[in-house]
């Protein structure tokens, strides 16, 4: 799918975090739609390092890149020497996805070094190359702000959310100081779709519940899940937002959601329908008293300034995802 009239053929495209969920989808998007583009994936991939919460320190996985024909650089955005490898290229577009993406990491030093410090370096690289830079911000910047979450009304509740909030502030300032640059931040809401499996416990509820059902178990949900809403956004619409962000009416930070929140119960019900099961539900009490029960992206400025228009419904997105959920059922997650 081509989303605007930018011709990425003969352009050099850097994707940081390109071995991860969104980054690898971007890499294949360019490979398939712009076969003469030069795509560089820069990612530290996963190591044996584990955070105290039991999750991997980084989720990049070679299996997300099987079939990718572009260049792959294993490098750490925190390492200036690794970043120097990028001096060999004249970059036209940079999609900065690399981050500690786990919202439940509380080691503030590693989060801010990875998500914030490196952003300064990548902005400088974009500036030197006169490259467009589109970076991943997050709905986590809103914390428990009431719906609809609107850009400018952030109140992050965890280090991850604050790191993305800081990135937005840096981007605004950099943009003011360098008005000739194109700098766009995208606040992704709950993204789901192929490529997320290797995020383990931080992958979306869609694949996690899908695998529970394929295990013959009733989907495990918090009590009242029909009243717990999230703005789930399909990976295809996230690609659309990234492409359209390359040609914004104005620099800025934009929400990437559907504006149409759906409940966790909806997800479980759609999955059971598509998988042909009738296992009921396994309700458990919600241990969090400060749980966010409703997110909904205000996408008005994304529509105006990016011409962003989400097109994949939850029903369609899950239906199309089912073969991949089945393929990965029981696959080695590490």
User: Contact positions toward ligand NAD, by CB under 6 A?
Assistant: 17, 19-23, 43-45, 58-60, 76-78, 97-101, 114, 136, 138-139, 188, 190-191, 199
Min dist CB 31 to ligand NAD, Å, is 17
Which lies closer to ligand NAD via its Cβ, residue 144 or residue 279? 144
Backbone phi and psi for residue 250, each to the nearest 5 degrees, phi listed first: -150, 150
Residue 148 CA to residue 135 CA, distance in Å, equals 22
Q: Is 164 a catalytic residue?
A: no
Q: Yes or no: say if 259 and 296 are a contact pair by the CB < 8 Å rule.
A: yes
CB nearer to ligand NAD: pick between 52 and 276: 52
3, 29, 135, 160: the catalytic one is: 160
For the bound state, the minimum distance from the C-beta of residue 281 to ligand NAD, rounded and expressed in Å, comes to 24
Residue among 142, 138, 150, 42 at smallest CA distance from 98: 42
Residue 264 contacts residue 221 (beta carbons within 8 Å): yes
Q: Is 321 a catalytic residue?
A: no
For ligand NAD, which is the closer residue by CB, 54 or 179? 54
Residue number, 45 or 162, with CB nearest to ligand NAD: 45
Are 59 and 199 within 8 A, CB to CB? yes
Active-site residue, selected from the candidate residues 199, 236, 244, 321: 199
CB of 205 vs ligand NAD, minimal distance in Å: 11
Three-state SS string over 65-79 comes to: HCCCCCEEEECCCCC
Q: What angle is formed at CA 192 by the lines to CA 190 and CA 194, rounded to 5 degrees? A: 160
Residue 83, both tokens: 């970043």
CB 260 to ligand NAD: min, Å: 16
Torsion sign over Cα 63, 108, 191, 127: negative
Distance CA 315, CA 162 (A): 32
**Which residue in the shown chain puts its C-beta closest to ligand NAD?**
20
Closer of 77 and 86 to ligand NAD (Cβ): 77
CB of 114 to ligand NAD, least distance (A): 5
Parallel, antiparallel, or unpaired: how do β-strands 38-43 and 12-16 relate?
A: parallel
40: which strand partners? 14, 71
Spatial CB neighbours of 5, under 8 Å, sequence gap ≥ 6: none
Pairing of strands 132-138, 183-188: parallel
Would you say 114 or 258 has its CB closer to ligand NAD?
Answer: 114
Beta strand 229-230 with 183-188 is unpaired
10 Å CB burial of residue 224 (0-12, 13-18, 19+) is: middle
Least distance to ligand NAD, CB of residue 207, Å: 12
Please list the active-site residues: 160, 199
């Amino acid at each position: 799918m081509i989303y605007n009239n930018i011709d990425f053929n003969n352009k050099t495209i850097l994707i940081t975090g390109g071995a991860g969920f969104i980054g690898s989808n971007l890499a294949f998007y360019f490979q398939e739609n712009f076969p003469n583009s030069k795509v560089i994936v820069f990612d530290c991939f996963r190591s044996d390092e584990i955070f105290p919460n039991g999750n991997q320190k980084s989720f990049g996985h070679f299996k997300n890149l099987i079939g990718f024909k572009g260049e792959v650089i294993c490098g750490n955005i925190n390492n200036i020497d690794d970043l120097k490898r990028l001096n060999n290229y004249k970059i036209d577009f940079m999609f900065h996805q690399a981050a500690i993406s786990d919202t439940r990491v509380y080691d503030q030093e590693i989060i801010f070094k990875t998500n914030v410090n490196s952003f300064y370096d990548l902005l400088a690289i974009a500036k030197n190359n006169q490259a467009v830079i589109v970076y991943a911000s997050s709905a986590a910047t809103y914390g428990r702000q009431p719906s609809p979450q609107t850009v400018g009304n952030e109140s992050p509740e965890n280090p991850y959310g604050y790191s993305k909030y800081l990135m937005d502030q840096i981007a605004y300032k950099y943009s003011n100081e360098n008005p000739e640059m194109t700098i766009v931040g995208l606040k992704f809401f709950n993204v789901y779709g192929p490529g997320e499996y290797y995020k383990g416990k931080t992958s979306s509820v869609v694949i996690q519940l899908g695998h529970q059902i394929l295990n013959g178990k009733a989907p495990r949900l918090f009590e009242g899940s029909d009243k717990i809403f999230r703005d789930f956004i399909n990976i295809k619409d996230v690609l659309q937002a990234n492409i359209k962000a390359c040609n914004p009416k104005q620099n800025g930070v934009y929400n990437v959601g559907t504006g149409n929140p759906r409940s966790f119960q909806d997800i479980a019900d759609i999955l059971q329908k598509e998988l042909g099961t009738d296992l009921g539900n396994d309700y458990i009490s919600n241990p969090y008293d400060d749980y966010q029960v409703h997110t909904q992206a205000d996408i008005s400025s994304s529509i105006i300034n990016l011409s962003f228009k989400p097109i994949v419904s939850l029903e369609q997105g899950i239906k199309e995802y089912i073969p991949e959920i089945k393929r990965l059922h029981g696959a080695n997650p590490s």
